[in-house]
Amino acid sequence: MSSLLSDGRKSHQWQLSSILRRFHIDPLLLLGLLVLLGAGLMMLFSAGGQDFGIILRQLVRMGMALTVMIAIAQIDPDRLRDNAYWLYGFGLILLIAVLLFGHEGKGAQRWLNLGFFRFQPSEIIKLAVPILIATYIAERPLPPSAWRILCGLILIGLPSFLIAKQPDLGTAILIASSGLIVLFLAGISWKIIIGFLVASASAAPVLWYFMHDYQRRRVLTFLNPENDPLGAGYHIIQSKIAIGSGGLFGQGWLQGTQSHLEFLPERSTDFIFAVISEEFGLIGVAILLFIYLLVASRGLYIASQAQSSFARLLAGSISITFLVYVFVNVGMVTGLLPVVGVPLPLISYGGTSMVTLLAGFGILMSIHTHRRMMSP
Amino acid sequence: MASKFTLKDHFRESRLVNGRLLFSGLLSVIIFGIVIFRLVYLQVFEYEHFDYLSNRNRVDIEPLPPQRGLIYDRNGVLLAENIPTFSLEMVPEKVPNVDETLKELSKLLALSDEDIEAFKDRVKRQRRFHHVVIRQRLTEEEVARFSANRYRFPGVDIEGRLIRHYPQNNLFAHAVGYVGRINERDMEIIDQKDYKGTSQIGKTGIEKQYEDTLHGSVGYRQVETNVQGRIVRELMSVPSQSGDDLFLNLDINLQRVAAESLGDYNGSVVAIDPRNGGVLALVSKPDYNPNSFVSGISSKEYSELRDSPDRPLFDRALRGHYPPGSTLKPFVALAGLELGVVDVHSKTYCPGWYSLPGSSHRYRCWKSYGHGMVDMKDAVSQSCDVYFYDLAHTLGIDRLHNFLDYFGFGHRSGIDLPNESEGLSPSSEWKRASRNQAWYPGETLISGIGQGFNQTTPVQLAHATATLAMRGISMQPQVVRATRPAGQADMNLRNSEIMNNLPMQNSQNWEDVVQAMVEVIHGARGTARSVGKDMPFKVAGKTGTAQVFGIAQDGEYDAETLERKLHDHALFIAFAPADKPEFAVVVVVENGGSGSKVAAPIARKLIQQYFGLKVDE
């Protein structure tokens, strides 16, 4: 069958669209991602003090991440489903390993040192959880039974708890959401959802108990940043000044005073959104948020067109988690949410999360381009 | 495979999931709408407010670093203080052209190329710190010259800072330690908030051990700055809290006597008040000047210190491993008495050598023609090896090891200084675990005279000597005697802590061993008779000589022909008065040769100094 197809394509195999199709790339999604990555480079140039070295390093990471994305797009989604349990188990073992012999940095134990390179096992789990939960839930007809929901919650809770212990609350929240979103999409009845929300609201004190001191301080600082102007509150105070002073149109690219006079901390990484707000104003960030929504909506469209419940659930979860990612970061930088340390996806400086994000988009592309004819 | 039933099911499922997808999409749009509202609030409604904060005058939060606590010796002599210095600093972000400014500055203040290189290096490393030092320790003339020209250099200013200074220079280098620039490793340990505005942190010695006590807590002030970054007015301030002052047990006079009498030798002297564990002297030679480290040691000076074969940076008192040699014998003798293996009158014949039953290998006594018949007191006072070969053989290594445990051999003494070594007190279990080898009976013999695997640190040996002096009451060695919170007149004395109270079946055993050690000094044939001359009380002591270089079975140790670094280590332990001890001392002289000739006279001088006697020349 493949020979038949390739014969038909021979005449126009050098056309861009056919190359994209041959490599299982979704052009619309790719376009959106490239726009975001390009905007990221532009902001990084400004936030990083116009240092070409930073841009170069980020470009190398982007190249790596895009390669991973395209590689994953070649994998048939059924392969992911077949190996879901292995992937999850592997990720879980690495998480336990990181707790036991991980490398500590800045008061948190997130890295696993393999001699030649270090990586964060939480990145593997970020994809393994939605893949596994989608596999598990789609094994039986939807909506899932109460028993399946319970098992699913345990499968989600285990890695989230381990990561929260590292401690990396931001990533733990993202991973838990990616799993919970699968359950939601699978059609759990609204009664259960509302019951769950009430239960988790009453579980907040328990969470408080398990938090590290620095996380508690961050929550308290969130409630009243002026309490701790030298420590955690400094971030929020400075980032609000930066955002607010951007106004409607912004100070212009490379013109932001707050970010360039070293007032704004972590301005290339977690707080880069404040730099964008200062330099491009309300109009600029509204456009940026709109692009994020467009990329996610393409993902949701792919989900709706998927052929199996597994693929539908997985694609939906990846797309919505992407938005949760954006929301947690922007919410944190604008003072709506506590500071939990989540980067702005595809824009913040740093490599590990970008690889995982683009790997997720690789899965979306794979789901969309591996569809088969239902009937001959 | 797709039957009609599952197809129908699939259709129903996809409708269900797509409904949820649509709901999620709409919810996302609403949530993003909320974010946009938040941004509208910040950027449109509150724009004036934030624009004022960011542009007209900038509000900056400046940390107010605390003053580090001072360190005194037991007499109130200052060992570590803070002295004001002026440093030239720049906020690179506020300087239009850094290179041009540096060029102009070097015309005015004669900056060296090295200064400029170091400054550029610092700029790269310090991201969030606002001020970067260009040069420290400006003279008053330089300060005046810069002040007159200050208007030409926006973003450059002179900052008055306090830096650490050690007025006693080398004398307390190892004990008090030094502070140095906070590095990445330190950053991971400390609460960074507490160190805003502080550039130095305790690196070694007391400075490191008591970092939390000495540091104090940071304050801050909110200031309004103009566009150049100069402070226009202060809005509010929370003062910093200075660190506590420390009063040490160390006595500068003892410290001086110890350092001077060691002379050119490498080695260590530790003196302890056995009644409370107070560390009175703690010297490791060679030493170095801690002031070199405070404002960043030059790499040349540092590599000289680091690469010197005498290893001046190495704290021998806490980390030097030495075989205790014959200084271990009183403890072995006590083990023999206490475990009932010998009594005080049991005699052993010393022909000058000892052989294990069924073996022809001769373990030699230091006195080649032998001591003849010796009892315990003779064996200690004349340091007869054969007596202790025999005793150790009867005891066996594991009983000996367990008994020496009581005195802390092979364990950290728990002194309040960082990085103490454990030493090594061997046992058959240790040898199996660490080397996977069986214990040989011959090894027991040489362990019995403190050679072989035995390794002890001077602090550990001093602690054991103090415990022996106190007839079994083991006090934790303490360098810090008291703390005094800033601004208060009263000191908080530290409690001395009893670590262990050794159970002994017969208290006469203590007296017999102490008596044997008194014989070392006051007996007719004692190995350290010179120590006892003109002493108003009885001193108990023991000489020791630790082999550095193995001599062949029939070889001869000849100091004349051996290189100095292969000479034996000389050791001496003592406490006084023997019946009511107030002072215990350990002297280790590397490659000093004989304990009685080199180490004992040093201990004598310390005893004289402590008890207010006339100190030997």
- Domains annotated on chain B, with CATH: 61-248 (3.90.1310.10), 252-289+317-484+491-610 (3.40.710.10)
Give A60→chain B minimum CA distance, Å: 22
Annotation says B434 is catalytic? no
Spatial distance between the Cα atoms of B366 and B594, rounded to a whole number of angstroms: 12
Q: Indicate the residue type of B186.
A: D
Higher-scoring residue by pLDDT: A5, A251: A251
pLDDT value, residue A4: 44
Given a cut of 80, whether residue B372 has pLDDT beyond it is yes
First to last CA, chain B: 107
pLDDT value, residue A179: 95
- In this complex, which of B20, B28, B50 lies closest to A245 when CB atoms are compared? B50
Spatial distance between the Cα atoms of B604 and B607, rounded to a whole number of angstroms: 5
Q: Indicate the residue type of B146.
A: F
The angle formed by the CA atoms of residues B320, B325 and B327, to the nearest 5 degrees, is: 95
Nearest CA in chain B to A214: B191
Region B67-79: mean pLDDT is 94
- In this complex, which of B2, B38, B55 lies closest to A245 when CB atoms are compared? B55
pLDDT-derived band at A228 (thresholds 50, 70, 90) equals low
CB contact under 8 A, B24 and A181: yes
- In this complex, which of B13, B50, B222 lies closest to A241 when CB atoms are compared? B50
pLDDT value, residue A318: 96
Q: Indicate the residue type of B470.
A: M
CB contact under 8 A, A107 and B188: yes
DSSP secondary structure letters along A20-88: HHHTT--HHHHHHHHHHHHHHHHHHHHHTTS-HHHHHHHHHHHHHHHHHHHHHHTS-HHHHHHTHHHHH
What are the structure tokens assigned to A2, written together?
A: 């493949």
Q: List the beta bridge partners of residue B575.
A: B540, B584
Q: Note if the bond before B577 is cis, omega within 30 degrees.
A: yes
Give B222→chain A minimum CA distance, Å: 9
pLDDT value, residue A54: 86
- In this complex, which of A231, A277, A300 lies closest to B193 when CB atoms are compared? A231
Nearest CA in chain A to B19: A185
Q: Are strands B71-72 and B245-248 parallel, antiparallel or unpaired?
A: parallel
The ipTM estimated for the assembled molecules is 0.88
pLDDT digits (tens, 9 = 90+) for B332-360: 999 999 998 999 999 999 999 999 888 88
**Cβ proximity of B456 and B326 under 8 Å:** no
Given a cut of 90, whether residue B487 has pLDDT beyond it is no
pLDDT digits (tens, 9 = 90+) for A63-122: 999 999 999 999 999 999 999 999 999 999 988 888 887 655 544 556 665 544 556 788
pLDDT-derived band at A223 (thresholds 50, 70, 90) equals low
CB contact under 8 A, A262 and B93: yes
**Cβ proximity of B267 and B316 under 8 Å:** yes
Buried b vs exposed e over B500-527: b needs ≥16 C-beta within 10 Å? eebeeeeeebbebbbbbbbbbbbbeebb
Which residues of chain A have a CB within 8 Å of the CB of B40? 282
Whether A261 contacts chain B with CB within 8 A: yes
Given a cut of 70, whether residue B563 has pLDDT beyond it is no
What is the edge-to-edge ordering of all strands in the sheet holding A108-113?
Answer: A103-105, A108-113, A118-119
Residue labelled with tokens 């699913």: A152
Region B154-173: mean pLDDT is 88
- In total, the C-beta contacts within 8 angstroms joining chain A to chain B are 142
Higher-scoring residue by pLDDT: B270, B88: B270
CB contact under 8 A, B35 and A327: yes
Interface of A with B in 58-87 (CB under 8 A): none
Give A39→chain B minimum CA distance, Å: 19
The two most distant CA atoms of chain A are separated, in Å, by 70
Pick the range with the lowest mean pLDDT from A317-321, B8-12, B47-51. Answer: B8-12
pLDDT digits (tens, 9 = 90+) for B427-446: 999 999 999 999 998 999 99
**Cβ proximity of A348 and A39 under 8 Å:** no
Spatial distance between the Cα atoms of B8 and B96, rounded to a whole number of angstroms: 72
DSSP secondary structure letters along B94-112: G-S-HHHHHHHHHHHH---
Buried b vs exposed e over B371-389: b needs ≥16 C-beta within 10 Å? beebbbbbbbbbbbbbbbb
Tell me how long chain A is: 376
Which residues of chain B have a CB within 8 Å of the CB of A273? none
Given a cut of 70, whether residue B414 has pLDDT beyond it is yes
Nearest CA in chain A to B229: A261
Spatial distance between the Cα atoms of B144 and B152, rounded to a whole number of angstroms: 14
Nearest CA in chain A to B222: A229
Buried b vs exposed e over A137-148: b needs ≥16 C-beta within 10 Å? bbeeebbbeeeb
pLDDT value, residue A109: 56
Q: Dihedral, CA atoms, B416, B420, B425, B429, nearest 10 degrees?
A: 110
**Cβ proximity of A249 and A281 under 8 Å:** yes
CB contact under 8 A, B39 and A282: yes
Whose CA is closest to B102, among B118, B80, B86? B118
**Cβ proximity of A312 and B14 under 8 Å:** yes
Region B591-603: mean pLDDT is 87
Burial group, residue B416, by CB count within 10 angstroms (0-12, 13-18, 19+) = middle
Given a cut of 90, whether residue A203 has pLDDT beyond it is no
CB contact under 8 A, B28 and A142: no
Instruction: Report residue A340 CA to chain centroid gap.
Output: 14
Whether A165 contacts chain B with CB within 8 A: no
What are the structure tokens assigned to B390, written together?
A: 């025999």
pLDDT digits (tens, 9 = 90+) for B282-337: 999 999 999 988 877 777 888 888 888 889 999 999 999 999 999 999 999 999 99
Spatial distance between the Cα atoms of B77 and B168, rounded to a whole number of angstroms: 9
Q: Indicate the residue type of A1.
A: M
Instruction: Report residue A181 CA to chain centroid gap.
Output: 13
**Cβ proximity of A308 and A137 under 8 Å:** no
Q: Are strands B200-202 and A118-119 parallel, antiparallel or unpaired?
A: unpaired
Which element (helix H / strand E) includes A2? Answer: helix A2-9
Region A132-137: mean pLDDT is 94
What are the structure tokens assigned to A242, written together?
A: 């930066």
pLDDT digits (tens, 9 = 90+) for A276-296: 999 999 999 999 999 999 999
Spatial distance between the Cα atoms of A134 and B18, rounded to a whole number of angstroms: 15
Nearest CA in chain A to B39: A282
Mean pLDDT (chain B, rounded): 87
pLDDT value, residue B130: 61
pLDDT value, residue A352: 77
Give A13→chain B minimum CA distance, Å: 34
- Catalytic residue, chosen from B284, B326, B425, B474, is B326
Region B500-513: mean pLDDT is 84
Q: Which of B7, B46, B50 to mutate to test the interface with A (most CBs of A within 10 A)?
A: B50
pLDDT value, residue A345: 93
Higher-scoring residue by pLDDT: B181, B270: B270
CB contact under 8 A, B47 and A143: no
pLDDT value, residue B37: 94
Q: List the beta bridge partners of residue B181.
A: B200
Give the number of other Cβ atoms within 10 Å of residue A320's Cβ: 27
Q: Which of A142, A273, A292 to mutate to test the interface with B (most CBs of B within 10 A)?
A: A142
Higher-scoring residue by pLDDT: A114, B364: B364
CB contact under 8 A, A142 and B16: yes
**Cβ proximity of A58 and A44 under 8 Å:** yes
Whose CA is closest to B591, among B575, B561, B571? B571
Spatial distance between the Cα atoms of B132 and B126, rounded to a whole number of angstroms: 8
Which residues of chain B have a CB within 8 Å of the CB of A335? 38
Given a cut of 90, whether residue B192 has pLDDT beyond it is no
Whether A317 contacts chain B with CB within 8 A: no
Q: Indicate the residue type of B27.
A: L
Q: What is the DSSP letter of B597?
A: I
Higher-scoring residue by pLDDT: A205, A59: A59
Distances B585 to A121, A296, B468, B610 between C-alpha atoms, Å: 55, 77, 12, 11
pLDDT value, residue A7: 46
Mean pLDDT (chain A, rounded): 84
Nearest CA in chain B to A281: B43
Nearest CA in chain A to B220: A230
Region B212-241: mean pLDDT is 79
Given a cut of 70, whether residue B172 has pLDDT beyond it is yes
pLDDT-derived band at B227 (thresholds 50, 70, 90) equals low
Buried b vs exposed e over A253-269: b needs ≥16 C-beta within 10 Å? eeebbbbbbbbbbbbbb
pLDDT value, residue B374: 93
Given a cut of 80, whether residue B584 has pLDDT beyond it is yes
H-assigned helices in B161-264: 173-176, 184-189, 205-209, 211-215, 252-262
pLDDT value, residue A5: 45
Q: List the beta bridge partners of residue B542.
A: B573
**Cβ proximity of B387 and B381 under 8 Å:** no
SS (H, E, C) B13-77: HHHHHHHHHHHHHHHHHHHHHHHHHHHHHHHHHCHHHHHHHHHHCEEEEEEECCCCCCEECCCCC
Give B197→chain A minimum CA distance, Å: 11
Tell me how long chain B is: 617
What is the edge-to-edge ordering of all strands in the sheet holding B278-285?
Answer: B278-285, B267-273, B583-589, B569-576, B540-546
